[in-house]
Amino acid sequence: LFAGPCDFIFASVKASDLPPLGPPEIAFAGRSNVGKSSLLNALTNRKTLARVSHTPGRTQQLNFFALGGQPGAERLRLVDMPGYGYAAVGKEKVASWGVLMRDFLRGRASLARVFVLVDGRRGVKPVDEEMFDLLDQSAMSYQVILTKHDELKVSERAEVLGATTQALSKRPAAFPEIIFTSSHTGEGIPELRGAVSKLLHE
């Protein structure tokens, strides 16, 4: 699934303009600078996959990629969601972001799970809670990925993992295992790939 190419398929700026339904989709969300581009590149063995979505605040779009086969014959689609919580983004853009996210999360039958990235150095912040709110309201399955494992001491890792577990415990739905990752050391990448592969077989 992760060995082959991962070609760009489609960019959506509004929920009425999504690619036709196809194979299962997994989406990746997180605040700007959380390490989403780096993680997507590590996950797919690519150096430039996420570049297309990168400039914070500019690309308010959903970017679809094909995994496990050429576009049209892919086994899975990866959806890069626009980063949130970027201070320089105006109110209007935040509102249009919210509409796009909500419409996509509520209406996308093929969306199997959203992976929500949380910065391991910061832990769960109000913007992350807002994303969890949106996912809970949409009854969408989600799994939290902590990033930047390499930047933390052993004690700090335990602390942020505990606090994140506690934040998720307050949520209505049972939550899957929290995966702690580093795009620099590769920590957690096999676990993340395992979680993705498992979704395909459910």
CA distances from 180 to 97, 136, 184 (A): 27, 22, 12
Query: Minimum CB separation from ligand GDP for residue 21, in Å?
Result: 27
Q: Is 119 helix (H, G, I), strand (E, B) or coil?
A: strand
CA distances from 25 to 5, 43, 68, 115, 186 (A): 16, 15, 12, 11, 23
* Longest CA span, the chain: 46
Q: 54: Cβ–Cβ under 8 A, 6 or more apart, which residues?
A: 37
How many of the chain's residues bind ligand GDP (CB under 6 A)? 16
Q: 101: Cβ–Cβ under 8 A, 6 or more apart, which residues?
A: 81, 134
Among 101, 168, 182, 196, binds ligand GDP (CB under 6 A): 182
Task: Assess 59 for contact with ligand GDP (CB under 6 A).
Answer: no
Task: Assess 184 for contact with ligand GDP (CB under 6 A).
Answer: yes
Query: Minimum CB separation from ligand GDP for residue 172, in Å?
Result: 27
Site string for ligand GDP, 139-178 (x = CB under 6 A): --------xx-xx---------------------------
Binding range to ligand GDP, per CB under 6 A, among 12-20, 33-41, 126-134, 157-165 = 33-41
Among 32, 44, 60, 63, binds ligand GDP (CB under 6 A): 32
Dihedral angle computed from the Cα positions of residues 162, 164, 169 and 174, in that order, rounded to the nearest 10 degrees:
-110
Query: Minimum CB separation from ligand GDP for residue 22, in Å?
Result: 25
CA 4, 74, 186, 193 torsion-angle sign: negative
Binding range to ligand GDP, per CB under 6 A, among 6-14, 32-40, 152-160, 164-172 = 32-40
Per CB under 6 A, residues contacting ligand GDP are: 30, 32-38, 83, 147-148, 150-151, 182-184
